[in-house]
A and B are shown apart, each in its own frame.
Chain A
Amino acid sequence: MSQQDTINYDAVLSKFREDPFAYVDINAMHTGHIRFHVREGDKVEGLTGDFRHIKGTLLCELTRERNQKPIHCTTNGEVSFVNKVLDGQFVQAGEKIMTIRHPLKKREIIEQILRDVLVPFAAPEKAKYYFAMDIQNRIEKFGQRSVSVKAGDEVFTMSLMKRDTPVYYTGEAGIIHSVYFKPGQSMELGEPLVGVCPPEKVAVVEKIITRVKAEWE
């Protein structure tokens, strides 16, 4: 059975129609004193501007050692939860401070659906990952969707326990369609790092994109 046949487009799209939001938890990125700048129900903006150079809404400020760390919203939406008891308190890194309800855009819905279609390349260990030097150069020069990979190619550098190890691609050949990690970010074992689109799946991917674009307001 082909991948095309296994996707029930109506079911997938109706799931997004019922709850067309993503719920983004904001955690204290550092330890320090926190002061909130938004309340529940406030509308917030993510990065804007032609070059995405205008910072999002100021959500809160963390003060540590007289250094103020403003935390700006990275996505648009509405503040659906604020942990009010923390206002003015000394919080520890990682503590949940608020939740943003973000209305999904067409592009984001397409990306989420494509996760089930593209060939994932999963993190072989819990570690930090970087693109291999050659792949990174090609992505910078031509964009990720112009970079094709095949089994045996050195695609990533895995930084694990302070040791750099090359990671070789094992899977169907294709182009790097989606990237699911940020260089240097710690990824769990088995989490997909990239989604690769083999030539035979190009038609499915195009169909999904067309369908979502046509049916999503």
Chain B
Amino acid sequence: MAAVNNPSLLILTSLSSGPKHGHALLLDIESFADVRLGPGTLYGAITRLEEQGLIEPLDPEDRRRPYRITAAGTMTLAASLEGLRRIVRTGTTRLAAAT
């Protein structure tokens, strides 16, 4: 079972280490989350993140356009990760108590 499969969160996490274009995002996400996003799913999430101002496009390189995370995107990612940390803490504590 994949730990996290929210495409937006995965993209923000990937972009937190630097700008990437679509193909690089897919490879990076697969390497750290073991999730292979479909191209349509990836670009759907990119569309939404750009609309929300959480990522921004850079100048295209050939036909590929890199994206980078914005300050708002970094804050959103931090808040999401904190939420996940709470879930992990709660789950770990409850699991320990149950065993």
A joins B in a complex: no
